[in-house]
Structure 1
Amino acid sequence: ISDPENSAVLYRALKRAGVSAELHIYATAAHDFGVRTSDRPCSTWTRLCAEWLRHQGFLK
């Protein structure tokens, strides 16, 4: 897990370059966040990623 500001810098650079990107920052997460089903907000990242990949045409 890295400093969220680094992710925000990358996200802004991608958007400026016209690259399709999304950024989701979660307040708390463990090392294995989102891998196991849980009631934590960060557990939604796999679903959000799959939706984005479908929207981009990488998944059917």
Structure 2
Amino acid sequence: MKKSKYHKLIELKITTVNNSEIHNSFSYKVEAKVAICEEKVEIEKRSAGRFVWATNV
């Protein structure tokens, strides 16, 4: 799984699910909530440049 720069997983819950169709086979169920990394977003907002186009035409 690729790690996100501006998001994080919270309330991560991993459970094992027994697959009764195939002997000795297990699957995993992953549940999580995605949250924004506020501190990283604020740093990017502050460092973002501004562009102003002025003309006398």
**Structures share a fold, TM > 0.5?**
no
Higher helix share: 1
Please tell me whether Structure 1 or Structure 2 has the larger radius of gyration of its CA atoms.
2
Higher strand share: 2
Task: State the TM-score, normalized to the length of structure 2.
Answer: 0.21
Task: State the TM-score, normalized to the length of structure 1.
Answer: 0.20
Structure number with higher relative contact order (C-alpha < 8 Å, ≥ 6 residues apart)? 2
